Amino acid sequence: KYMVNIWERELNKENKKELTPIIPVIFYHGEKRWETVKSLADITRGIKEYPELKKYLPLFKHIFYELGELEEIEEVENLGLKVFLLSLLLARGFKNPKLLLKTLLFYLDNIPGDYEYLFIATTIYVFNKMDIDLDELMEYARELRLERREDIMTLAERLRGEGMEKGIEKGIEKAALNALQKGLDIQIIAEITGLSVERIEELKKKLN
């Protein structure tokens, strides 16, 4: 569905003559083991009796990762993706949330400037999803001696001063604008920030 939406937008709204290649990657972080079908052929009637029908089906291959433990996420090489996955694991309810939070803060400290939007979005995501006291979070930052601890504290104070809900909304929109400036796809920004595609398109108009 996401792939088709991206291609439809490229054809209909952006008038592109060539489509962007998309490699589907699934990161599963649920509590139960992944047991769903792996391809459309698995649930298509008659395929077992007539396997030659497979060539007429849209059989997209994908890369699949089942991430249930901290060690599995540590193996992911891309730093930005690693931070995003750690935040998902933290929000789901990791068995040792303090250890995971410190690990997440460590990687946030190493996020390069080009990933500023991810730093903001991930920090706000943790605030929004976790039952965490802002003083406790800032104490973690001090203990780790993060180079970016002032960024985290400034963001935390802003959320406290403006009110959690209002502060989160402003921070997420800032992250979306930053991602748009970096050329990130609108659909991906929507997935990361939780904003609607329509709202992101409105924000994009402000940049033009």
Q: Residue ranges per domain, the chain?
A: 1-66, 76-208
Mean pLDDT in the chain?
75
How many angstroms separate the most distant Cα atoms in the chain?
65
Average pLDDT over residues 81-85: 77
89 close to 73: Cβ distance less than 8 angstroms: yes
Measured distance CA(147)–CA(155) in Å, rounded = 15
Measured distance CA(60)–CA(69) in Å, rounded = 27
- Give strand pairing partners of 65: 27
> pLDDT band at residue 94, thresholds of 50, 70 and 90?
low
AA letter at 21? P
Q: What is the DSSP letter of 145?
A: T
Closest to 162 measured CA to CA, from 204, 124, 119 = 124
pLDDT single digits (tens) 21-65: 888 877 776 667 766 666 777 778 888 888 888 887 777 777 777
Classified as helix, coil or strand, 103 is: helix
pLDDT of 172 above 60: yes
> Model-level pTM?
0.53
In this prediction, residue 161 carries a pLDDT of 66
